[in-house]
Amino acid sequence: MTTESDPRFHRSAEAILAAARELLIGEGPAAVTHAQVAARAGVGRATVYRHWPRVDQLLAEAMATVPMPFFDAPTQPVRDWLHGELTAIARQLELHDVRAVTTTLANSALWDPGMDSRRGQFAGVLSERLAQALDDAVAAGEVRLRIAARSAAALAIGPIYYRSTIEHESVDSDFIDAAIDSLGTWRDRG
Amino acid sequence: MTTESDPRFHRSAEAILAAARELLIGEGPAAVTHAQVAARAGVGRATVYRHWPRVDQLLAEAMATVPMPFFDAPTQPVRDWLHGELTAIARQLELHDVRAVTTTLANSALWDPGMDSRRGQFAGVLSERLAQALDDAVAAGEVRLRIAARSAAALAIGPIYYRSTIEHESVDSDFIDAAIDSLGTWRDRG
């Protein structure tokens, strides 16, 4: 039988992960079962169990394969950069697979410690990156924050997230500007 | 056997619904199965199938038993009323069962048309009620909106929803004020 030092072991892990992610995106978290993942990955069910004894661990790992490019490498003026980043987030959240991953994470985190730690990691990266960018904007005199920089992610992303995952409505530029203005007073805007 | 005119039929429906809601709140949507609901409700599995052939319909109905008291009966000044309503929403979203119901709705709506219609109903009631209250505030000269009144719910509730279900952080009064200010220019605030 294969061992962890066997290349086949790693190839099967990749095939299983890809199959799990396809099922998550296409049919939702309930479709990510050992049997369906094995069938789609073209491996035996025992192989799936050997890699991931618990299906929720496989689900969490499949969700973690979604990249997190947001709020990376801020530029000045920060407001323009922020408007661009929030527009990118809004476009991503129009995609079924991104809505699936984010809402599955928020929901599963309530019962599964592994998913909850993924949630905390996801939220922490976004709020830390944005807080850093806003601190730079404050230092450059571009904005006077009215809230703690660590609260900015929820005020900036929250409206887009709710609009997309609860209202299923689109987000336009004025909507994003309104969210940005909730963070504080921006230069040349009074 | 019992019929729909039989009081026992309605008593069993209530017991099944209560059991489904307990399982949803306590263990999450995955725990709401015909077998577990029947066991907890103290009825036969066939009785559960007779009332709800599909478990997702039972889940949607269990979720609909959560009351929706928000944004009801606005008072003037609207800003104070809105601050109070958003504070109540924030307190509710600190409760595990409310997080469970809202995140399950957002997630299941992506694959289940029945849940999606519940989602649309839920979102529509909130945005219509708030839009009406804001139109009154505009008429009374209390606020100049910067966005369409129908977009206000996402800007006001979204930050609280994200803060609670994604960041798992608490919401304070300044945070709520920041969200309210994103809606427009309020009298005596410039």
pLDDT values of chain B reduced to their tens digit, one per residue, 190 residues: 456 667 778 889 999 999 998 888 787 777 888 999 999 999 999 999 999 987 777 877 887 775 567 898 899 999 999 999 999 999 888 888 778 888 888 998 988 888 898 899 889 999 999 999 999 999 999 999 999 999 999 999 999 999 999 999 999 999 999 999 999 999 975 4
Element at B28 (helix H, strand E): none
- Residues of A within 8 A of B147 (CB-CB) are 174-175, 178
CB contact (8 A) between residue B119 and residue A168: yes
Element at B53 (helix H, strand E): none
Q: Which two tokens stand for residue B13?
A: 């429906």
CB contact (8 A) between residue A168 and residue B106: no
Phi, psi for residue A32 in degrees, rounded to 5:
-85, 85
Here the ipTM equals 0.80
CB contact (8 A) between residue A178 and residue B174: no
Element at B94 (helix H, strand E): none
d(C-alpha A115, C-alpha A119), whole Å: 6
> Which of B111, B159, B182 minimises the CB distance to A181?
B182
Question: How many beta carbons lie within 10 A of that of residue B77, not counting itself?
Answer: 15
> Which of A96, A162, A181 minimises the CB distance to B158?
A162
Residue A130 makes CB contacts below 8 A (sequence gap 6+) with A71, A82, A149, A152, A153, A156
Domain ranges of chain A: 3-64, 78-186
CB contact (8 A) between residue B155 and residue A178: yes
What three-state secondary structure class fits B93? coil
d(C-alpha A46, C-alpha B3), whole Å: 47
Question: How many beta carbons lie within 10 A of that of residue A71, not counting itself?
Answer: 24
CATH number, domain A3-64, options 3.40.640.10, 1.10.10.60, 3.40.50.2000, 3.90.180.10: 1.10.10.60
Say if B163 is an interface residue toward chain A (CB within 8 Å). yes
- Residues of A within 8 A of B185 (CB-CB) are none
CB contact (8 A) between residue B159 and residue A160: no
Longest CA–CA separation in chain A, Å:
69
pLDDT of residue B9: 80
- 3-state SS string for chain A: CCCCCCHHHHHHHHHHHHHHHHHHHHHCHHHCCHHHHHHHHCCCHHHHHHHCCCHHHHHHHHHHCCCCCCCCCCCCCHHHHHHHHHHHHHHHCCCHHHHHHHHHHHHHCCCCHHHHHHHHHHHHHHHHHHHHHHHHHHHCCCEEECCCHHHHHHHHHHHHHHHHHCCCCCCCHHHHHHHHHCCEEECCCC
Q: How far is CA A166 from CA A29, A65, A170, B19, B135, in A?
A: 18, 24, 11, 26, 22
- Residues of B within 8 A of A160 (CB-CB) are 154, 158
Say if B157 is an interface residue toward chain A (CB within 8 Å). yes
pLDDT of residue B120: 92
Angle between helices A152-165 and A113-139 (to 10 degrees): 120
Report the CATH number of the B78-186 domain: 1.10.357.10
How far from chain centre, in Å, is Cα A2? 34
Nearest chain A Cα distance for residue B160, angstroms: 7
What three-state secondary structure class fits B184? strand
pLDDT values of chain A reduced to their tens digit, one per residue, 190 residues: 456 667 778 889 999 999 998 888 787 767 888 999 999 999 999 999 999 987 777 877 887 765 567 898 899 999 999 999 999 999 888 888 778 888 888 998 988 888 898 899 889 999 999 999 999 999 999 999 999 999 999 999 999 999 999 999 999 999 999 999 999 999 975 4
Say if B147 is an interface residue toward chain A (CB within 8 Å). yes
pTM assigned to the model:
0.80
Site of tokens 């949607």: B60
- Residues of B within 8 A of A127 (CB-CB) are 167
Say if B122 is an interface residue toward chain A (CB within 8 Å). yes
> Which of A28, A96, A147 minimises the CB distance to B175?
A147
8 Å CB contact between B85 and B70: yes
8 Å CB contact between B159 and B95: no
Say if A38 is an interface residue toward chain B (CB within 8 Å). no
- For CA atoms B35, B40, B45, B46, the dihedral sign is negative
Say if B89 is an interface residue toward chain A (CB within 8 Å). no
Nearest chain A Cα distance for residue B145, angstroms: 10
